[in-house]
Amino acid sequence: MEAPLDWSRARMLGRGSPLAASLHFAPERWQDGIVALRAVISEIAAVPDTVSEADVGRKKLAWWGDALRDRAAHPAVEALVASGAADRIAPARFDSLIGSVAEVLESPRFERQEDAWRHCLALGGPAARLEAELVDADDVDRADWSALGAFAYLVRLVRDIGVDARANRWLVPLDLQAEYQVARQDVLDGSAGRGWDGMIRAWLEEGSRQAVAARDGIPADVAWRQRHLLVAHELDLRMARLLARHPRRILERRVRTGHAGNVWTAWRAARRLRRAV
């Protein structure tokens, strides 16, 4: 039987995964914990994609709450325990993430970009705070982590718009759709034009603005201590730039960044953080 930590690494560190490039710069003692934590978060966040009825999804999410408390025999939970992360993070700390994922079961719709950003904060924010808590519990209450986590979630939401549209999920805010004259049917018809390009760039630019403002407010010593989160943020910015350069690629496939470029970006980001201390 595959060891839990091997399972989590195989799941989260596949070829092209940004985590495969950023993990090296995390404190060595918590590298396994970060991978295990990401695996648990990934399993919880994936629940809406695995069910066709909201009630079934709520039951699965309730099971995750119980599984974390009881340290159930699930590879992700076992990896969290084996890495030591389960001893650092109380099961109740996952409750806000589980609650936010439960809201996704109802296929949310957003009137404005601000509504979509709050959605990203609710889903990406807890994930980033959990990771910060794993490394140093004294840093967990900084609001900056929520903004970085929200941007990471937004980038993946934008990256997967084409895939989601074909699966009858459409989370683009109505104000953006109206301003750039874009609709879900344009994705299905393959007829998205310049309006699509403008919409994608505007959405990513606004999210990037908020995340970078939060990043720039983090003291240098805290940034170095939580360098893995800051390095991962640089990789999110790299993905956002790629999506903004070629917005129509999103319609064709799930865009990925290359591993060599990710490694170079991660190394430069870590060097800047070290020099700032």
Cα 107 from Cα 44, distance rounded (Å): 16
Segment 6-18, tens digit of pLDDT: 989 998 988 778 9
Whether the predicted pLDDT of 275 surpasses 80: yes
> Residue 90: pLDDT above 80?
yes
Asked if pLDDT for residue 2 goes beyond 90, the answer is: no
Comparing 73 with 3, the larger pLDDT belongs to: 73
Q: Cα–Cα distances in Å, from 86 out to 70, 91, 106, 260?
A: 11, 8, 30, 32
